[in-house]
Amino acid sequence: MTQNPPRPRIALLTTGGTIAMTAQGGRGGQLALDGAALSASVPGIETLAEIEVRPVLAKPSASFTLSDLGRIAAAAQEAAEMFDGVVITHGTDTLEETAFALALLTRAEAPIVMTSAMRRPDQLGADGPANLAAAIRVAASAKARGLGLLVVSDDEIHVGALVRKTHSFRPHAFSSAPFGPIGWVAEGRVRIALKPAFDLPHLAYPGGEPVVPIVEAGPGLEPKVVEALAPACDGLVVALPGAGHVAAAAVAPLAALAAERPVVFASRTGAGETLQNSYGFGGGEIELLAKGLIGAGPLDARKARVLLQLLLAEGAGVERVRAAFAGI
């Protein structure tokens, strides 16, 4: 008599999001599905894996705090040490921040895979069940081991440290541009075409909610905006045009803040990195660095904010923050 091979054991961590929401009367989408209902939405799920549901949070992701991200990371780390793989269901809105935080806070051989949905289960073309099935297959795959935090959406496999939400309502809402997905799922087969080659620092989250706003500048940034924010923030991220260029008038208040707390400047272009030694005009990156601001390098403002919040939560001072960004 032949025996079936044991099914992979997958922990399903639930945190909320559209994947678990249905329309409630005239009040729009509200959280309604627990982990058991989510599992039940995938026909034949029991043939893919043995699933253990572990509820972690139940809120829309725009309301997540840094403590919530720390809680998801701790639950994912624990599950990755006990199971063959981990799937985390999450709202799409701030999935990129949680994915980046988990890439910094977790280290595991077992795949940790985030997934989500753009359409509720009660909407035509609901994408949650297919995304969940694909995420379970990736989490159960030996090919996905040791690749770091992954995000599965619309049959694509993305590196969690690179992915961004780039559409507000279509099912194909995630992109790792200017790179791309590192793999895909086709007819249930998991393909990995590329492996990430970068290292991120491994951080711990001891608790705390450092206040780090993001200010995006265009042509012009009023000094009074920076001055008004300064007393309220533990650090600041400014998303700047081009390679990191701000209105000359904003340099003085930014420099004053940078003398006390970390001020990180990122490029708002969505690709490339902040430069260090190309532009010498007032407000150019050479002046910003000379005045003590810290370049985000290849990180966009949202990822830079997550890194800065986690470093501040660890108690890092300006020089440790500078070294951490320089090491990215």
118 binds ligand ASP (CB under 6 A): yes
Give 201-247 as a DSSP string: ------S------EEE-BSB--HHHHHHHGGG-S-EEEEESTTT---
Q: Which of 16, 121, 181, 262 binds ligand ASP (CB under 6 A)?
A: 16
Single residue of 55, 60, 196, 223 touching ligand ASP by CB under 6 A: 60
- Give the residue carrying structure tokens 């440290």: 161
Least Å distance between CB 118 and ligand ASP?
6
Quick check: is 18 catalytic? yes
User: SS3 letters for 124-175?
Assistant: CCCCHHHHHHHHHHHHCCHHHCCCCCEEEECCEEEECCCCEECCCCCCCCEE
Q: Is 91 in the site for ligand ASP (CB under 6 A)?
A: yes
Binding track, positions 18-37, relative to ligand ASP; x by CB under 6 A: x-------------------
Whether residue 98 lies in the annotated active site: no
* Burial zone of 6 (CB within 10 Å; 0-12 exposed, 13-18 middle, 19+ buried): exposed
Number of residues that bind ligand ASP (CB under 6 A): 10
Q: Taking contact as CB under 6 A, which single stretch among the options 67-75, 90-98, 149-157, 303-311 is the one that binds ligand ASP?
A: 90-98
Please identify which of the residues 14, 15, 18, 274 carries the catalytic annotation.
Answer: 18
- Which of 16/148 has CB closer to ligand ASP? 16
- C-alpha to C-alpha distance for 303 and 101, rounded to whole angstroms: 8
Q: Look at residues 301, 320, 306 and name the one whose alpha carbon lies nearest to residue 105.
A: 306
Residue 93 marked in a binding site: yes
263 and 293 in contact (C-beta within 8 Å)? yes
Catalytic residue among 92, 94, 98, 115: 92
Strand, coil or helix: what is 47? helix
Alpha carbon distance 139, 49 (integer Å): 10
CB 328 within 8 A of CB 200: yes
Q: Judged by CB under 6 A, does residue 93 bind ligand ASP?
A: yes
Q: Which of 41, 106, 115, 116 binds ligand ASP (CB under 6 A)?
A: 116
Residue 304 in contact with residue 264, Cβ under 8 Å? yes
Residue nearest to ligand ASP according to CB distances in the complex: 91
Which residues inside 288-327 make contact with ligand ASP, applying CB under 6 A? none
Q: Which stretch binds ligand ASP (CB under 6 A): 89-97, 223-231, 275-283, 294-302?
A: 89-97
By CB under 6 A, residue 61 contacts ligand ASP: yes
Q: Is 17 in the site for ligand ASP (CB under 6 A)?
A: yes
- Tell me how crowded residue 135 is: count the other CB atoms within 10 A of its CB: 29
Report whether 274 belongs to an annotated binding site: no
Residue 60 or 196 having the CB closest to ligand ASP: 60
The answer to whether 92 is a known ligand-binding residue is yes
- Per CB under 6 A, 131 contacts ligand ASP: no
Instruction: Enumerate the active-site residues.
Output: 18, 92
Residues that bind ligand ASP (CB under 6 A): 16-18, 60-61, 91-93, 116, 118
- Binding-site annotation, residues: 61, 92-93
